[in-house]
Structure 1
Amino acid sequence: MIELRGLTKHYGQTVAVQDLSFTVHPGQVTGFLGPNGAGKSTTMRMILGLDRPTGGTALIDGKPYHELTHPLRTVGALLDAKWVHPNRSARAHLQWLAASNDLAMSRVEEVLRLVGLSEVAGKPAGGFSLGMSQRLGLAGALLGDPHVLLFDEPVNGLDPEGILWIRRFMQRLAAEGRTVLVSSHLLSEMALTAEHLVVIGRGQLISDSTTQEFVERASESSVRVRSPQLDQLRSLLTSNGMTVREDGAGQDGPALVVAATTSDAVGKLAGANDITLFELAPQRASLEEAFMRMTGGAVQYHGEGADLVMGGAL
């Protein structure tokens, strides 16, 4: 388990993380989201003891990272897939990590097989593609068979096959009861990967909830409806105070989207007036739409002539 309590980091006058508190529980993938400059990487570096907090604590199983005797046996991390000596082979890199934490050398071959790098284990890591480098980073994170794992942008730059592989890999790790925290700017991928979301902006907590709760809280409830009596239905809905707009994007013909209501309300009204419905479907915003609504005020830099907001998190 990862616990943050009042975690704070200042760089001079710049506030990178401010009074941040949340807990990452085992058994599920927790997505760590925020606009660019929100403080995600700084937070992960403090969890791993790479940056010293200005205030507050970051604990792994109740201890700060520097108090872990053999840290690779407790926590594994992938922060930079290219953090490997380019002339060192994948096997040699993992053997060096294993020796630093008194791990059995047999474990090196196990993780190489686990991530699918056995056939290239003797080749210099500097010649690896980004996907292969990500797999090597995952192998290093898993070397000590830790039950806490942190991944920073693990699918960045990967092709669809690589993204699918890593998604399933992280979900399998969580299903084994491990604590998995993963940051990503690919929101569509996080919608498929993470059961829980921690969202920050300008170094402060915005949301800590399940993925479904986050989307529902940020979304306006609406209903999409199709009918052979569309004009009559439109008049009926508007006369009952409902806001209606056209939706002709569907393959099955034109439809109406009724804002701020439920499918039950629309269905009862149509039924009471003998209007046939071909479709009656509640609409939910995508994670991207919910994210933009929840974090719009926490974006550090705005394009298209908008004001440049200074003093945000790094």
Structure 2
Amino acid sequence: MIEATSLTKRYGKTVAVNDLSFTVAPGKVTGFLGPNGAGKSTTMRMVLGLDNPTSGSVRIGGKQYHELKHPLRTVGALLDAKWVHPNRSARAHLTWMARSNQIPARRVDEVLDAVGLTSVAGKRAGGFSLGMSQRLGIAGALLGDPEVLLFDEPVNGLDPEGILWIRKFMHRLADEGRTVFVSSHLLSEMALTATELVVIGKGRLISQSSTKEFVARASDSSVRVRSPHLPRLRAALAEFGATVNDVDDAILVSDVDSSKIGELAAANGIVLHELSPQQGSLEQAFMQITGDSVEYHTDLDTEARQVLASAAS
């Protein structure tokens, strides 16, 4: 488990992280979201002891990072896929990491195989594509078989097959009971990967909840209905107190759930051809909830948010 308590980081007059508290529990993938400049990378660096907080604390399994005797056995991380020495082979890089934390040498080949790099293990890391470098970074994170894993933008440079692989891989790690904390700007992928979300803006916590709760809180629930008897259905719904809007050859019904609409149609002898609850997207919810936390705005940003907001309503 990761526990951040009143975490604050200042660089001169700039407050990068401001009184931030959250927890990341084991057994699930937790997404870490926020606009550019929100403080995500600074927070992850403080978790890993790469930056010291100005005040507050963050603990991994009850200990601060510097208190861990062999840290790679407790927490693995991928923050920068290209930090590897370019003249080292993938195997040499991982062997060096293993020796630094007294990890058995056999783990090197195990993690290379796990991420699909066995065939290029002897090649210079400097010649790797970004996608291959991401896989090598993930191998390094897994090297100590840690209970806690942090990934910053892990799908960068991966093709669709690679993105699907990392999604399933993270789910498997969580299913094994590990703590998995993932920062990403690819919201459509986070919607499929993360079951829990920590959302920050301007260094402060905006929300911590399940992904479903986050989306539901930011978008109006509605039901798309098609019927050959729309005028009769519209009138019945109006009497019931529902809000009805025309959408192409259908209606969009708010303030009434799908089961009530079905019961109302049956009671009035109205045939239905479609009864589809509409779900807002994570992207719509994110844009709506973090709108006031974006550091830099343009007219195009405002227009995009208005379009997404209207699509969610």
Does the TM-score normalized on the shorter chain lie above 0.5? yes
Distance in 2 (CA, whole Å) between partners of 1:214 and 1:305 is 25
Alignment of 1:182-201 (within 5 A): 182-201=182-201
Q: Decide whether the 8 Å contact of 2:134 with 2:157 is kept in 1.
A: no
CA–CA distance in structure 2, aligned partners of residues 83 and 306 of structure 1? 33
Aligned residue runs from structure 1 range 190-229, under 5 A: 190-229=190-229
Paired residues in the alignment total 302
When structure 1 is superposed on structure 2, of 281-290 and 297-306 the one drifting more is 297-306
Letter in 2 for 1:280: L
State the alpha-carbon separation in 1 of the partners of residues 275 and 107 from structure 2: 55
Task: Return closer, same or farther for 1:32/1:305 CA change in 2, 3 Å cut-off.
Answer: closer
Q: Percent identity?
A: 71
Aligned to 1:310: none
- Partners of 2:227 and 2:54 lie apart in 1 by 60
Q: Which residue does the alignment assign to 1:6?
A: 6
**2:75 corresponds to which residue?**
75
- The TM-score, its normalising length taken from structure 2, stands at 0.92
Does residue 266 (structure 1) correspond to residue 261 (structure 2)? The answer is yes
**Relative to total residues, which structure has the larger helix share, 1 or 2?**
2
Q: How does 1:14-93 map to 2 (within 5 A)?
A: 14-93=14-93
SS at match of 1:53: coil
Q: 1:231 matched to which residue of 2?
A: 231
Find the aligned partners of 1:196 and 1:306 in 2 and give their Cα distance.
27
Say yes or no: does 1:176 pair with 2:176. yes
Deviations 1:1-27 (A, max 9, x none): 111000011111111111111111111
Give SS of 1:22's match.
strand
* Contact residue 131 and residue 156 of structure 2 kept, 8 A: no
Question: What letter matches 1:246 in structure 2?
Answer: D
SS of the residue corresponding to residue 46 of structure 1 reads helix
Helix, strand or coil at the partner of 2:132: helix
The answer to which of 91-100 and 269-278 deviates more is 269-278
Unaligned runs of 5+ in 2: 303-313
Q: Which residue of 2 aligns with 1:166?
A: 166
SS of corresponding position for 1:190: helix
**Gapped runs of 5+ residues in structure 1?**
249-253, 308-314
User: What letter is aligned with 1:13?
Assistant: K
TM-score (norm 1): 0.92
Aligned equivalents of 1:305, 1:267: Cα separation in 2:
41
Root-mean-square deviation over aligned CA pairs? 1.6
Which 4+ residue blocks in structure 1 deviate beyond 6 angstroms? none
